[in-house]
Amino acid sequence: MATGARCALHPDVSAVATCARCGSFLCGDCTEVVGESPYCAPCVAVLRREARPSWVVQVALGLNVLGLVCLPCSLALPLPTLVAGLAGVVLSTRELRRIRRGEGPVRGLMQAQVVRALGWGNLVLSAAWLVALLWLT
């Protein structure tokens, strides 16, 4: 009989790592690496559920709110609002894909959806502003 640590889910297989969160022994099939640390599947689920939303989405949210505030100030060209809207749509779509693939924190789902809606709103407002400027001249 072999000695040494055995996988918690597969007792007939030797352990190759321990979960960084709960400390259970893991075989190669059970090990999921997040960052540089090994985790078991239940702990990865907890990490995804409890992790903070991506800083990229938080920055995009701030940019889109700033873009809405800057729209009335930009009399000639709504460039800040246009850039904020485009960044919001692109970055939030990227983050939503990461969340769907299981790579992003689930807590960021609602925030990414809000950023995408604000981004589209900023793009529509910028386009309407440009159409109004062209029509009035």
Same domain? 87 vs 103: yes
Same domain? 44 vs 56: no
CA–CA distance from 57 to each of 64, 68, 111, 130 (Å)? Answer: 10, 17, 7, 27
- Judged against a pLDDT cut of 70, whether residue 113 lies above it is answered with yes
- What pLDDT digit, counting tens, does each position of 118-128 carry? 999 999 998 98
Same domain? 64 vs 11: no
Average pLDDT, the chain: 88
d(CA 102, CA 95): 11
- Judged against a pLDDT cut of 60, whether residue 2 lies above it is answered with no
Structural domain range at position 121? 51-136
- How many domains does the chain contain in total? 2
Same domain? 42 vs 97: no
Q: Which of 50, 67, 84 is the last residue of a domain?
A: 50
Same domain? 101 vs 131: yes
Same domain? 96 vs 55: yes
Q: Residue type for 70, please?
A: C
Q: What's residue 76's pLDDT?
A: 67
- What pLDDT digit, counting tens, does each position of 8-48 carry? 999 999 999 999 999 999 999 999 998 899 999 999 888 88
